[in-house]
Amino acid sequence: MVFAFHQSSNLLFKSPAFHTSHFEDDNDYGMTVEEFQKKVSVSNKIVLVFFHADWCKPCIKLKPEIVALGNETKEYCELLNIDTDANPKIAEHFEINSLPMFVIYKNGKKSWENIGLLTKAQVKAKIDLFNK
């Protein structure tokens, strides 16, 4: 079950159970937990996971910048866009309770995570930190 923080009322609410994509470049829909774990563990690159949902306003605002960042860093960083509504088992397994959420994996191990809105420059700084 995925919950989000509603800014105007300061309440948590359950996300809608439907999916309407605003982004044509999403690449990780309907992935199993096992497929996710394999992707982050076998990559010889840093893996940036961007957990988001189409109903999440900060996610919508940030998504184009993160996709651009993924393209800019693709030589050393793999970007996984995970829509939590399309991947509820992953969201449940990793207890994703707030969005947007970023996780960096290096050598198959979680090295960093952040919940909330960040700038493209802040995310790139973290990627570069783990690329050393």
Task: Tell me which residues are annotated as active site.
Answer: 56, 59
Backbone dihedral region of 75: left (phi > 0), alpha (psi from -120 to 50 degrees) or beta? alpha
Residue 67 CB contacts under 8 Å (≥ 6 apart), including other chains: 23, 25, 79, 81
Q: What is the DSSP letter of 112?
A: E
The Cα-based distances of 121 to 28, 54, 65, 78 in angstroms read 24, 23, 9, 17
d(CA 93, CA 91) in angstroms, rounded, equals 6
Residue 44 CB contacts under 8 Å (≥ 6 apart), including other chains: none
